[in-house]
Amino acid sequence: MTLDDFFLWLQRAVDRLIRWLRAGSAPPADCRRFLVIQIDGLSRAVLESAMAAGRLRTLRRLLRRGQLVLRPMSVGIPTSTPAFQAGVFYGVTPDIPGFHWYDKRARADIYFPRPGVADFVEERHARNRQGIMEGGACYGCIFTGGAVENLWTFARITQPVRAGQSLLTIAASAFLLLWVVAKCVVLTAVEIVHAVLRLIANPVGETRRGWRWLLFKIGLSIWLRQLFTLSATADLYRGVPAVYVNFLEYDVFAHAYGPRHPRALRALRHVDRSIAQLWRTLRRLPELRYDLYVLSDHGQAPTRPFVEISGGVSIEGVVLAAFSPGSRGLGPRRLRGQARWLETYRRTRGRGLYQRYVNYLEQDFPEHVLAPEALRRLEPIRVVAAGPNAFIYFTDADEPLSFEAIEARFPGAALELSRHPGVGFVLARSANGPVCLYRGRVWRLNEACATGPFTDREDRNVVLEGLTDLMEMPSAGDLVIYGTGAPVGHVSYLHEMGAHAGPSPEELQAFVLHPPTVALPSLPLTRPSQLYAHFMAYCEGRR
């Protein structure tokens, strides 16, 4: 028995004693329950290679023994956590074009780490819908899915009284909480000692790498993962009907270093240990009839930052150069001129994580920071870089503009943008459906999937369906730029080495591992909303 097991046993004994003193009873076993473990950002290809390399030994063992089976899944477009969880939790086709966009209806930037944004978006999608997590517990997610108990969930991150209250406010959890803190303190000390030894052995390399990665590792791989794992385990012992745990660390390291970088792959070993602990707990609780699911919300594609291709100019600068009145092209001199005034606000005082995403313009950066000339030149164009995708909005129009309307106002600008070496393709709406601008040519979207940029894709019908869904979202940009499939390779419009939101196979093709005794929808899984009815059957007692 490990120390984790001992403290969980002790916690369970305390829970039983309290139930006995209150004349309570154990949780009923008249219906099945479920535990979902989400490995954020893990593609099916990386899953399979990680299992073959021994980084996900628990999952490999469960598959080989037939205790889980693998079901391929395409997650729809955009390939992002908010869109995926909105579909699974509420069974909707989401109006969530990415992790960050501009909402013409609200006249505001929607960016999920901002306080209140996830709650606002969830309320839109949950209206008149029941979430699959009602009565359950949720950890590390964007939305709650109806769960009352949740920890580090964006929709409740500013409400610590409600977040994880079963662990943080119930006296019976004292043993478990003290053990989590003690264990994390020891593991943090060990990690710091290792970092100091690495610095002594390689001072140049460690200094160049910086200390931010160490803080991420301590925060995500030690404190947050341990807290999620032990909290979810306590919920299982209590018989919570639905538990959803999202392990974030692989996704964070894949963004920073690339999806197959050794640091990102090492994070999978940590996640695998947590999966092993949760699986052991389920085996000890057969009377509670839990079903285990392990899934991913999307994958990641290896990317190059756009500024490496454009000579240091951001996507905002390139777009504004193309769409400025009297534009004479995207020549280096013109782009350098755009970059000079963009630097006015790029060097300003950012607030933590917000400084990475310099898209908030006059709302997130006070007007006195921007020169009046810069403000005038930004109107009426709003550019939002959100990863391998960037959205262009014409803010003087309340409804999305068609390609024909944009072309009438800015002749040739969108086509010129599609020729840039850092641009894969550009999407727009038209009277006859979505169109794809590719290498200076306009294609109907179905033509682009048949004979254009996606012609070699076996799943081009899934790509066509996903991109069509995207352009039907009112919140998607009037123009949507993708760095996926650019002439120089996949490109991100943020400074990251791994990215998602686009239609590349690495991003789109994920997986669901499920017990062989349960049947998922028989149709090919091509969008997350197909899983909603399956999990709602647990809530309705039909499992």
Provide the pLDDT for residue 31: 84
| Those residues with Cβ within 8 angstroms of residue 28's Cβ, 6 or more apart along the chain or in another chain | 239
Provide the token pair at 69. Answer: 């089976």
Does 238 or 282 have the greater pLDDT score? Answer: 282
The dihedrals phi and psi of 419, each to the nearest 5 degrees, come to -90, -10
Angle of helix 3-21 relative to helix 262-284, nearest 10 degrees, comes to 40
Quote the pLDDT of residue 468: 95
Model pLDDT, residue 325 = 62
Give the pLDDT score at 174. 57
Query: Mean pLDDT, the chain, as a whole number?
Result: 81
CA distance linking residue 80 with residue 87, whole number of Å? 11
What pLDDT, in 10s, does the model give residues 68-100?
999 999 999 999 999 999 999 999 999 999 999
Helix (H) or strand (E) holding 138: strand 137-139
Give me the pLDDT at residue 541, please. Answer: 79
Give mean pLDDT, residues 530-534.
96
Closest to 131 measured CA to CA, from 90, 191, 174, 180:
90
Average pLDDT over residues 250-255: 91
Q: What is residue 332's predicted lDDT score, i.e. its pLDDT?
A: 47
Residue 380: which pLDDT band, with cuts at 50, 70 and 90?
A: confident
Q: Per the omega criterion (within 30 degrees of 0), is the bond before 78 cis?
A: yes
Write the pLDDT tens digit of every residue in 138-157.
Answer: 999 999 999 988 887 876 65
Token pair in block for residue 472: 């039907």
Q: Residue 402 forms beta bridges with which residues?
A: 429
Question: What pLDDT was estimated at residue 124?
Answer: 92
Q: How many CB atoms lie within 10 A of CB 13?
A: 11
Residue-range domains of the chain with CATH: 3-92+129-302+505-539 (3.40.720), 305-495 (no CATH)
Half-sphere exposure of 1 (CA within 13 A, CB side): 10
Question: What would the mean pLDDT of 16-41 be, rounded to a whole number?
Answer: 71
Residue 464 carries which side chain, given as an amino acid letter?
Answer: L
Determine the pLDDT at residue 347.
Answer: 40
Tell me the percentage of the chain whose pLDDT exceeds 90.
Answer: 52
State residue 343's pLDDT score. Answer: 47
Q: What are phi and psi of 102, to 5 degrees?
A: -110, 130
Tokens matching residue 191: 């990690």
| Structure token digits, residue 71 | 């079901």
Band (450; pLDDT cuts 50, 70, 90)? confident
One-letter amino acid for residue 128 of the chain: N
Report residue 367 as tokens.
């007007």
| Model confidence band, residue 244 (pLDDT cutoffs 50, 70, 90) | very high
Non-local (6+) Cβ contacts of 319 within 8 A are 381, 383, 390, 392, 417, 481
Confidence of residue 164 (pLDDT cuts 50, 70, 90): very low
Rounded to the nearest 10°, the torsion over CA 524, 147, 179, 157 is 100
pLDDT at 15: 54
| Selected residue with higher pLDDT from 69 and 7 | 69
Task: Fill in the DSSP letter of residue 65.
Answer: T
Report the relative pairing of strands 33-39 and 290-295 from DSSP bridges. Answer: parallel
Bridge partners for 394 per DSSP: 381
Sign of CA dihedral 220, 225, 228, 231: negative
Q: For the segment 471-490, what is each residue's pLDDT rounded down to a tens digit? A: 999 999 999 999 999 999 99
Per residue in 359-370, pLDDT tens?
A: 333 333 333 333
Return the pLDDT at 218: 66
Those residues with Cβ within 8 angstroms of residue 414's Cβ, 6 or more apart along the chain or in another chain: 322, 403, 406, 407, 426, 428, 437, 479
How many residues does the structure list for the chain? Answer: 543
Q: Which two tokens stand for residue 151?
A: 């920890």
Q: Is 169 helix (H, G, I), strand (E, B) or coil?
A: coil
Q: Could you read off the pLDDT of 189-238 as tens digits, one per residue? A: 777 776 677 667 767 655 655 666 666 666 666 778 888 888 888 888 88
Query: What would the mean pLDDT of 420-439 be, rounded to a whole number?
Result: 94
